[in-house]
Structures are given as C-alpha cells and as structure tokens.
Chains A and B, each alone.
Chain A
Amino acid sequence: MVKNSLIFIVLIGFAVLLADLFVGFNGNTDLNTLANHYAVSGPEEVGSANLVTAVVVTYRGLDTLGEVTILFLAAAIVSFLLKVEAGASLNRKLRSTSEILDTASRILVPVIFLFGIYVFINGHLSPGGGFQGGAIIASGLVLMLLAQPAKEVGHKLITLVESISGISFVLIGVAGVLFAAGFLDNKLLSLGKFGTIFSAGVIPIIYIFVGLKVGAELSGIITNLHENQNEA
C-alpha cells in the first residue's frame, strides 16, 4: 500500500513537471534552420533522392560509423560469451519441422534475401538503407534456421564479410580525406544524374558495405544463440 502510493506520488510529480511542456506545445509548421538547409540544398550537395539517406550517410556519416561500431561490439560480446565447443551442435535431438514451415521457407527465404539486397542497394532512391537491408537479411536467416534447425551456418563466411565491409567503409572515408573535401565526403565519385541508381557519389557503395556489415553482425548474433541452445 505504502509502495503503491509512493509510485503514485512520483507519477504525479512527473505529470506536474511535464504539464508545462504539454500545455505550451504547438507543432512546428515550418522547418527550422538546419532542417531547411538539408531540405533545400541537400539534393544539389549530395544528389540523393532519399533525403534521410543524405543526412545519415553524408551529413552525419561519422555517427553512422559509430553506430556500426557499437553493433559490431555487441555482436563480438555475444559471440565471446556464447562460445560453442566444436561438434557440440552435432549431437542434438531435433523435432522435425512442419511441412508448411518447411515449404514456405524454401520459397520465401531467397525472396527475403533478395528484398534485403534491393533495400540497401536502392537506399539513396527509396526508403530504407544499409541498416534496414541488413536487418531484413538477418530475419531471412531466422526463418531459414527455424525451418532447418540442423543447418550449419559458416562462421568463417560471416566473419569475413563483416571484416571486409567494415574495413572498406573506413577506407572509403579515408579516401574522402585524400581525394575529396573530407572524411566520408560523397563527392569522391561524380554525383551522376539525380534519381538514377548510379548517382549520389559514394552513397550506394557505402550503403552496400553498411548493409553487408549489419546483416553479417545480426546473423552472427542469431547463429551464436541458435547453436548455443542445447548447452546448459
């Protein structure tokens, strides 16, 4: 009773603190200065039809590199904590999967992988990008592992794809310092015709590497958890 009333008092306190914000709120009808700059001069400066991509990869490219690094750290910690002994996953008792799941996964998994690749290659034209495409690829892998639990996923391949795309991302950034205006500058390549697939400078290339990297990291987390299920 005392505990509940204390929680109630704390909630009332929050409500009083936030009431001022709520009463004084009226939504912005026009963009602020920074957003206005992005919206007006973004298409000329970056050449990307999807302005969100222009902000994520070029204007705030360093933040994206930081996010990818954090995700890499998370995947590395998961694989460090869930070490699998060699051969441990071979002697597992598995229930056979249902006919529906098996057949559906055979048709759907290649389509999901293809859709993920489409999303990160077209990141500068349509909604989506590296993170979304990578997450879609990893969810395709989840469906595959649900349908065929005994399937072995190559750790070496995942590690290789992850490291190569991470190094390439940083190398493109360094090449921007040497040959263009600065780190991760997208004028390294010509901007091309606005709205076509070969446009927006290095944004498509960076997003392909980000997509592969995120997909490999999330797949690594899922695979590690999956192979670790039968150990106490």
Chain B
Amino acid sequence: MINLIIAIVIGVLILIMAIIAVHHKNIVVGIIAAGVVSLFASILYLLLAAPDVAMTEAAIGSGLSTIIFFYVLNKIKRQNG
C-alpha cells in the first residue's frame, strides 16, 4: 500500500517535471527538468523491482544525456554568436 502511494507521488512528480521541461522559457532549466524526470523514473523502476533498469536509467538518462545536452547547447550558443 505504501509502495502504491509512493509510486503515485513519483508519477505525478514525473508529469510535473516533464511539463516544466517542455514549457519553461529557459532551456537550461528545461534540460535539468528532463534529467530529473529520468531520476524519478529510476526510483520508480527500483520500486517496481527492476534494479538493473534503474541503474541504467540513473547513469545514462539523468547523468550522461543531461551532460551531452549541455555540451550541445553550449556549442549551439557559440555558433549563433
């Protein structure tokens, strides 16, 4: 029962973060919100008894892809002046 409540709370948080990631005016905030979506998703995978998937999601989804987005954002900013 407690797991169900935690899962619902995390699901709602994922939805809020996803909406922020799409609609926020500042792209940096958007990228970080997208990383937080992955972080909450990995906690959800852990609750659903899939630790292997949770590790991949935490390392690649919220770690590496966020940093790659920042590298690309920096490069685009330089190219546009």
Contacts and interface: CB of A to CB of B under 8 A. Distances in A.
Interface in A69-123: 119
What secondary structure prevails in chain B residues at the interface with A?
A: helix
Contacts, number: 50
Contact of B55 (A119, A228, A232): A119
Given A136-B59, A229-B74, A232-B79, A142 B52 contact: no
A221 B68 contact: yes
25 contacts: A50-B52, A52-B52, A119-B55, A127-B54, A128-B52, A128-B55, A132-B56, A132-B59, A135-B56, A135-B59, A135-B63, A136-B55, A139-B59, A139-B63, A139-B64, A142-B63, A142-B67, A221-B68, A222-B68, A225-B72, A226-B71, A229-B75, A229-B78, A230-B78, A232-B78
B60 interface: yes
Q: Which of A129, A132, A136 has the most CB of B within 10 A?
A: A132
A212 interface: no
Interface in A208-230: 218, 221-222, 225-226, 228-230
Interface residues of B, number: 17
A228 B60 contact: no
Contacts of B52: 50, 52, 127-129, 132
Contacts of A127: 51-52, 54-55
A135 B63 CA distance: 9
